[in-house]
Amino acid sequence: MMKIVSTLAAGLLLTGAAAAQDGADAITYPFDGTFEEATFAVESAIINQGLVIDYVSHVGDMLNRTGKDVGSDKKIFDAADVFLFCSALLSRQVMEQDPMNVVHCPYGVFVIDQEGAVKVGFRDLPDGAMQPVEDILHKIAKEATGG
């Protein structure tokens, strides 16, 4: 069961990482500091919202470790982590409006480092019912980046 959950989480996170690269589906904030400082700031900002981090995916480590296995020598990130969490209150609110909003849960905030440029961000969610979730994601990213 854990392997299935990890595989599913990795797949979802790879989708998020791809969105962050092209920027079309991601909202990012620059972070003035190191990757480690940014991950600590994101973790603190999530906890400050009264939320519990369910899982931290070390996407950057995985991509760097498996590149050769899939025939690539391209380094995408120096480091990349995704923090996954949920909110019972917000999830109930958005899923009562549309049960298919389950596709967006859990919610994630990522930290990436590309050649010393550190960013904090999250997936841009659809307008409408998901706005309360996107608002909290903005709040977390802004707190983490000092914005």
pLDDT tens-digit readout, 96-121: 999 999 999 999 999 999 999 999 99
Contact 83, 120 (CB under 8 A): no
CA distance 147 to 142: 5
pLDDT the model gives residue 23: 56
**Between 10 and 144, whose confidence is greater?**
144
| Tokens encoding 18 | 């791809």
Q: Name the band, by pLDDT with cuts 50, 70 and 90, for residue 7.
A: very low
pLDDT the model gives residue 10: 45
Quick one: three-class SS letters along the chain? CHHHHHHHHHHHHHHHHHHHHHCCCEEEEEECCCHHHHHHHHHHHHHHCCCEEEEEECHHHHHHHHCHHHCCCCCCCCEEEEEEEECHHHHHHHHHHCHHHHHHCCEEEEEEEECCEEEEEEECCCCCCCHHHHHHHHHHHHHHHCC
pLDDT the model gives residue 47: 97
Task: Give the number of domains in the chain.
Answer: 1
Please report, rounded to a whole number, the percentage of residues in the chain having pLDDT higher than 70: 84
Asked if the model's pLDDT at residue 12 lies above 70, the reply is no
The string over 104-119, giving b where at least 16 C-beta atoms fall within 10 Å of a residue's C-beta and e elsewhere, is bbbbbbbbbbbeeebb
Asked if the model's pLDDT at residue 61 lies above 50, the reply is yes
CATH number for the domain spanning 75: value is: 3.30.310.70
* 121 to 36, 56, 93, 100: CA distances (angstroms): 15, 14, 23, 23
Domain range enclosing 53: 2-145
Asked if the model's pLDDT at residue 14 lies above 80, the reply is no
CA distance 14 to 59: 7
Contact 107, 87 (CB under 8 A): yes
